[in-house]
Amino acid sequence: MDDGTRIASVDDVPATGSYLFTAEDAFTNEREVILVRCEEDPGVEAWVNNCTHEDQRLDRGSGAAMRDGQIICPRHGSMFDACSGACDNGEAAGTTLPDVDVAVEDGNVHLVDDSYSYLHEGGIERDGGPSSSSHIGF
């Protein structure tokens, strides 16, 4: 593949859960991004690691909660389709997660979105821990 930065092996993306990495957007802001498995080609999708309802990380460092091909917001339980990013329930109903373009080739996931540059595996270093006040447990 001539274009795109290798992020991870497809095997690194769990069947349920997510693979977390950090990228820089066009305005030099660091953004957390998650890779999730999807039944549609290319088999892996990438989404900005934030619920569309509130500033809530979907993956807080140990993988996003998932059920039946949907990513679950740990704060209010809204569920986002892993393939389309669309939500049709809960507080985030009617919204779609911001996507990040990736390609899969030879068993590897590559960042091909011109709006982002790969920085590193894992999330953004934060002081004071996660901001969640969730009462939902998984």
Q: Is residue 126 part of a domain?
A: no
Q: Is residue 127 part of a domain?
A: no
Q: Is residue 134 part of a domain?
A: no
Does the pLDDT at position 92 exceed 60? Answer: yes
- Residue 96's domain comprises 5-121
Handedness of CA 33, 122, 76, 78 (dihedral sign): positive
Q: Is 107 exposed, middle or buried (0-12, 13-18, 19+ CB in 10 A)?
A: exposed
List pLDDT tens digits, range 95-114: 999 999 999 999 999 999 99
List pLDDT tens digits, range 24-39: 999 999 999 999 999 9
The CATH number for 21's domain is 2.102.10.10
What is the pLDDT, as a whole number, of residue 125? 83
Tokens of 6: 């290798």
Q: Is residue 137 part of a domain?
A: no
Q: Is residue 38 part of a domain?
A: yes
> The whole model's pTM is what?
0.89
Q: Is residue 132 part of a domain?
A: no
When divided into structural domains, the chain yields a total of 1
Q: Is residue 135 part of a domain?
A: no
Q: Is residue 130 part of a domain?
A: no
